Amino acid sequence: MIYQNLNRSLMTFKKTLLIIPYFGKLPKYLSLYFKGCESNNWLDILIITNDIPPKNKPKNVAFKQQSLLEISKQISKVHDLENYILPNGYKLCDWRPSYGLIFQDEIKNYDYWAYGDLDVIYGEMYSYVKNKYIQEIDFISFRNEYLSGSLTIIKNNFYNNNLFLNIENYYQEIRKPSYQALDEIKNRWDVMRCISNANLSFSEVVYQSHLKENVKVSFENVICENILSNQYVRFVDSKLFFYKNEIAYFHFVCNKGDYYFKFPNWKNIPHQFYIVDTGFYKSFFIMKFNIIFKLYNTIIYYLFKIMNKI
């Protein structure tokens, strides 16, 4: 089995498997993701990809090579869908609520399973997750408004693994080729879970089940997902801080799309570094020159655009 070599913690944590399918070339920031995994050995991570796995990785990270067609066939079999083919790897995000069925063989020896993203840096999440496990929480979200697509942890049982079936018109929505955000709030970012009575997304289904006391749910903002000018996140000795407040992880989904945001070419990830809206740096002194870096990267970006047009 692929999991036999995964590190098992001697702590009192429940066993948890995070499943992340990623198709295409693995991201250049994978080493940054690995750095956060090292201090969270209560969490096993399985990355399913059609790319070649790296040789160096943390002990709690495993890779499984699988094509998009193979996982499409797996979905077709589990959900009894004839000849279903994934239009792209990103569409798998809509299937996240049903990972408990699709990957039932992978999670069978785990008390909890999870879905999430690679464009994150974990802090040390020991105390936060441990308290949720002690309370026997069924769904652990790291956002307050809805289930966090970057990381949601789910207790492994029949009820939770089949709860996605309560999503309204799930199999109709899932067949649409574009991403429908069924795992979060169905692209209705203005709809907060506390005022929604619909069951159009997994977040709403879970929350309504929580109100009926069928499941225990934790919605709590303990992450940062966007760094603005003059803001920073500090990584030090496996902990993450947004200013002076410790956070569970940083999701750089918003910042990575900015043309002036750069990833480092560090051979070895330092035990301390800073993240600002232009990228990753080893010294906080960079804050004094951040506006210069932003201006420089902007000029380079537009020069390349002009040259490409020429």
- The answer, yes or no, to whether residue 253 has pLDDT greater than 70, is yes
Instruction: Report the distance separating Cα 36 and Cα 239, nearest Å.
Output: 9
Closest CA to 94 of 158, 147, 48, 24: 147
Q: What is the mean pLDDT of residues 229-249?
A: 93
pLDDT value of position 310: 60
Instruction: Report the distance separating Cα 60 and Cα 15, nearest Å.
Output: 12
- The answer, yes or no, to whether residue 2 has pLDDT greater than 80, is no
* HSE value, Cβ hemisphere, 13 Å, CA-based, for 16: 26
pTM for this prediction? 0.88
Percentage of the chain modeled with pLDDT above 90: 74
pLDDT value of position 286: 66
Residue whose structure tokens are 């990228």: 279
Pairing state between β 272-276 and 279-281: antiparallel
- E strands within the chain? 16-22, 43-49, 61-65, 112-116, 120-122, 139-141, 151-155, 217-219, 223-224, 233-236, 239-242, 245-247, 249-251, 272-276, 279-281
- The answer, yes or no, to whether residue 296 has pLDDT greater than 90, is no
Instruction: Report the distance separating Cα 310 and Cα 294, nearest Å.
Output: 24
pLDDT value of position 225: 95
Per-residue pLDDT tens digits for 98-109: 999 999 999 999
> What is the average pLDDT value for the chain, to the nearest integer?
89
Per-residue pLDDT tens digits for 25-51: 999 999 999 999 999 999 999 999 999
Domain boundaries, the chain: 16-219, 224-309
- State the CATH class of domain 16-219: alpha beta
Q: What is the mean pLDDT of residues 151-158?
A: 98
